[in-house]
Chain A
């Protein structure tokens, strides 16, 4: 398995893989020091290819960037500073976050592909355990015989994939997006017939990936993604940057 996935190292550093492959490769890297060393070296090599791409940008670009950074808050160093995700007690909805665990199967082929979150793993055992329980659920839903996959690209890069199973009366929402604009966060919504959009998850700042299990999802018509102020909004700020149609 290790050697098999590691053949992707070249494609990985060239950004020639898709989101699922990237996530599974990054999981592989976390488990293999020498593989990570090779990936770092090849990444360094790859970046040198940019030396051959000089092009003088328009002068206005510098002014725009300097003006933008003056108003852009910087992220703290990675690690403990990242806000700890809250695990809510609701049995209807678990958030699988920090434990870097989660998901999935290329459904139908039986080959499991792991989607791994980029969030740094915090030493919160409770979350890890919730995530393990959740992971089993995620796998069960994805392996359900009646699972239906829908996906939609995110307007500013990345993808939302939704797997629903009527047998489980639940669904899994997987988000792997590009960074939200500075000072903004992603928020996921479910939309049901005749109802207002209901918030399913507010990501924290800098978070670009999430995996959620949502009970009752097969009754919904859409899973939407919006860009919101840091605490999220009560109603979606339009336009939705992704709208996954479930029916």
Chain B
């Protein structure tokens, strides 16, 4: 337990840096400050994570208005429970995205249950517009890494992981969509993520 720790690079503020600007903030440091009630630190953390929180939720929900509502709830939840973040168990950004993903999935499932709404087909609704102004080298590299690592998976691993993560499907639903037995889907999700972990270097540090 004492040796455990997630190997990660510092997470830098994605805002456009002015020359002579203060050094980029680390999400973990910001979150610790937020836990002490520091609203300014929260503002910085917001700038760092909000585009991904909103983007992720939007991708799962496919509805910008609902995504905005859920993203707001998530970010307020980050403020509210910042003191519960446990750095032993992962990075600050991962903690935030975990809350965001869970909330998006809950919403999409309760919606599906309530109305069995038809999923709007068409890539356009899935595309997440990306504002070039906010682009930033490390962000771009991270995205490239995600895509490269996803490309490294087998077709079934990739489908299993992305249908669950980006579309919020349960694994029985994923099995149905892929016409694959349940145990196989569970296994592909797990070994797909293990392969991604090795590719992204998110393993335990020695």
Contacts and interface: CB of A to CB of B under 8 A. Distances in A.
Given A17-B171, A43-B90, A61-B72, A53 B55 contact: yes
Size category, B interface: 35 or more
Interface in A1-47: 7-11, 13-18, 33, 37, 40-47
Contacts of A9: 190
B193 A54 contact: no
Contact of B72 (A54, A68, A70, A77): A68
Given A157-B103, A157-B107, A48 B142 contact: yes
A44 B94 contact: yes
Contact of A42 (B166, B187, B197): B197
B122 to A, nearest CB: 17
A158 interface: yes
Contacts of B97: 47, 50
A10 B189 contact: yes
Given A55-B55, A72-B76, A15 B146 contact: no
A178 B106 contact: yes
B65 to A, nearest CB: 10
Contacts of A158: 106, 110
A198 to B, nearest CB: 27
A47 B130 contact: no
Interface string B143-181: 101110000000000001110111011110010000000
A44 B53 CA distance: 15
B71 interface: yes
A6 to B, nearest CB: 9
A6 B131 CA distance: 40
Nearest to A154: B110
Nearest to A70: B39
Contact of B168 (A10, A15, A37, A74): A15
Contacts of A37: 4, 204
A10 B142 CA distance: 22
B114 A69 contact: no
B76 A182 contact: yes
B89 A40 contact: yes
Given A11-B189, A45-B193, A16 B169 contact: yes
A41 B204 contact: yes
Contacts of B53: 50, 57
Given A17-B171, A46-B94, A65-B50, 9 more contacts: A14-B164, A47-B97, A48-B145, A49-B162, A50-B100, A53-B59, A66-B39, A74-B82, A74-B83
Complex A-B, nearest 7 residue pairs according to Cβ-Cβ distance, in ascending order: A10-B189, A10-B190, A55-B55, A157-B106, A47-B94, A53-B55, A57-B54
27 contacts: A9-B190, A10-B160, A14-B165, A15-B101, A16-B170, A16-B174, A16-B189, A37-B204, A41-B6, A41-B202, A41-B203, A44-B94, A46-B193, A49-B162, A50-B55, A51-B143, A53-B52, A53-B55, A54-B55, A54-B130, A56-B129, A61-B50, A65-B46, A66-B43, A153-B110, A182-B76, A182-B80
Interface of A: 7-11, 13-18, 33, 37, 40-58, 61-62, 64-66, 68-70, 72-78, 153-158, 178-179, 182, 206
